[in-house]
């Protein structure tokens, strides 16, 4: 009564065929997956910076005083290394001892490049908002300052446009056209 039992499972050739098909599908999908990750990294960076601009503006209105947004790295003044929203008591565009830091953001994903163009390019890159929610100079709440922050990763570009009243909007030159979305190319 020795009957051989048959076990359920896959044979070695069946497993090799399944693995070969899986490897082929992964090789086809991998470039699209990388592009999707880069697209999401750029969107996240743009949305985070846009949120920081909105926070800067709303805090200036709520506090009734000028609030600034500047690159977090005080050495190279590079937006890619993050940014900080703060109340600049001493007017040096850098958060220092005793100055209130409202928010800090860490570095951006590798490969994202940031360029800025503002009506007043004097000194370090920064954004300041006065108590009325208008973008202004860091030395005068009455001097309007507007411009564009461009973020680029690979062939993709997104821009944050800040108008004379201090309102910000996000645009995509590929979708919106250069006429409505002009700005610096990093």
Contacts of 46 (CB under 8 A, 6+ apart): 151, 158, 160, 170
Sorting pLDDT into bands at 50, 70 and 90, what band is 5? low
Q: What is the architecture of the domain spanning 12-176?
A: 3-Layer(bab) Sandwich (3.55)
pLDDT digits (tens, 9 = 90+) for 49-59: 999 999 999 99
* CA angle (91 as vertex; 58, 45 as ends), nearest 5: 45
Checking if the pLDDT of 62 tops 70, the result is: yes
pLDDT at 17 over 80: yes
| pLDDT tens by residue, 100-151 | 999 999 999 999 999 888 886 665 678 889 999 998 877 777 888 888 899 9
Domain edges within the chain: 12-176
């Amino acid at each position: 009564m020795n009957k051989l039992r048959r076990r359920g499972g896959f044979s070695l050739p069946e497993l090799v065929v399944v693995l070969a098909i899986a490897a082929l599908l992964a090789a086809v999908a991998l470039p699209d997956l990388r592009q999707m990750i880069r697209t999401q990294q750029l969107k996240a960076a743009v949305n985070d910076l846009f949120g920081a601009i909105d926070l800067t503006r709303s805090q200036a209105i709520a506090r009734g005083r000028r609030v600034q947004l500047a690159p977090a790295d005080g050495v190279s003044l590079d937006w890619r290394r993050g940014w900080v929203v703060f109340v600049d008591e001493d007017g040096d565009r850098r958060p220092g001892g005793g100055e209130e830091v409202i928010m800090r953001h860490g570095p951006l994903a590798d490969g994202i490049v940031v360029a800025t163009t503002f009506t007043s390019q004097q000194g370090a890159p920064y954004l300041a908002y006065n108590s009325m929610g208008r973008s202004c100079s860091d030395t005068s709440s009455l001097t309007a300052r507007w411009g564009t922050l461009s973020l680029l990763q690979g062939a993709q570009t997104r821009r944050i446009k800040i108008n004379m009243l201090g309102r910000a909007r996000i645009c995509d030159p590929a979708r919106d056209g250069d006429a409505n979305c002009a700005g610096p190319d990093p």
